[in-house]
Amino acid sequence: QVQLVESGGGLVQAGGSLTLSCAASGRTFNTYVMAWFRQAPGKEREFVAVIGWTGDTANYAGSVKGRFTVSRDNAKNTVTLRMNSLKPEDTAVYYCAARYNSGLSILEKFYNYWGQGTQVTVSS
């Protein structure tokens, strides 16, 4: 099993940047596919980004591609989401999620470990 804790959320102006971190604890962190999802007020939770075991493979939602970058440091048990050129529509609670010993997926139902979420608010 793995436990996840997100941090780094806050308030930023449109066009600004924020970096979110996900600290993981548990055995065999390097065998977990790690993903970021977000949920805006009144909206369904949606996929943001996913990164494979080694960090060499990553995929992004079309709405964030070119603006967000996901990375991982297995030695530090940390996953990072760097968010640039933020827009008001990026405002949401951002969640870190893990899927054990599997391939990459954009579907939240396949992730069995979740962090508590961190709030990102982008002002216009």
Mean pLDDT score across all residues of the chain: 94
pLDDT tens-place string over residues 39-63? 999 999 999 999 998 888 999 999 9
Sequence-separated (6 or more) residues with CB below 8 Å from residue 118: 6, 7, 8, 9, 20, 93, 94
- With a cut of 90, say whether residue 116 has pLDDT above it: yes
Positions of E strands within 1-124? 2-7, 10-13, 18-26, 32-39, 46-51, 58-60, 68-73, 78-83, 92-100, 113-114, 118-123
pLDDT of res. 26: 79
- With a cut of 80, say whether residue 29 has pLDDT above it: no
pLDDT of res. 74: 87
The SS3 call for residue 80 is strand
- With a cut of 90, say whether residue 22 has pLDDT above it: yes
CA 58/CA 60 separation, integer angstroms? 7
